[in-house]
Amino acid sequence: MILTENLLKIKKDLHVAVYQQIANGIISHIRQGTLRPGSALPSSRVLAQEMKVHRKTIVAAYDELYAQSWVDVVPRKGIFVAKKLPDVTPRPILDVVRPHSLPAETSFYVNDNMITRRLFKSGPESNLFLMTASPIPALRL
């Protein structure tokens, strides 16, 4: 199976990096069954020449696929579609994200007016000065 320009579409004017577009294209071919588990992917040099991109772009795409467990790298043999593909079934968001558990009120009172009066004072030209306890002179905002 040779991945050619016709199978992987690259749009350089998108906000998605080219290597990510290539990785996403290969993932979609794996999910559609065009690329079967265990099948070899072309070398980075061959695919870069076919896609008319730099070899490092293909290497970055293959690195991304490896990081996401879509491919297996066999040294001195090549890159193959993983035999055990990652689980990409959608899960309800409530299983992943818990609702926040911040209290509605704190156990202490904070007077916002006192904080701003103590930290900031008006200067002669109506500029704000930050009053700190550090030896650095007051910062002019």
Query: In a structure prediction context, what are the per-residue pLDDT tens digits for the chain, which is 141 residues long?
Result: 455 556 788 888 888 999 999 999 999 999 998 999 999 999 999 999 999 999 999 999 999 999 999 999 999 999 999 999 988 777 676 666 666 666 667 777 766 665 555 555 555 555 555 555 655 555 544
Q: What would the two tokens of residue 118 be?
A: 């103590």
| Range 18-81 classified under CATH 3.40.50.620 | no
As beta bridge partners, residue 73 has: 79
Q: Is the pTM of this model over 0.85?
A: no
- The strand order across the sheet containing 120-122 reads 120-122, 128-130, 139-140
Q: What would the two tokens of residue 139 be?
A: 């910062």
List where CATH 1.10.10.10 sits in the chain: 18-81
- Burial status of residue 17 (CB atoms within 10 A of its CB: 0-12, 13-18, 19 or more): middle
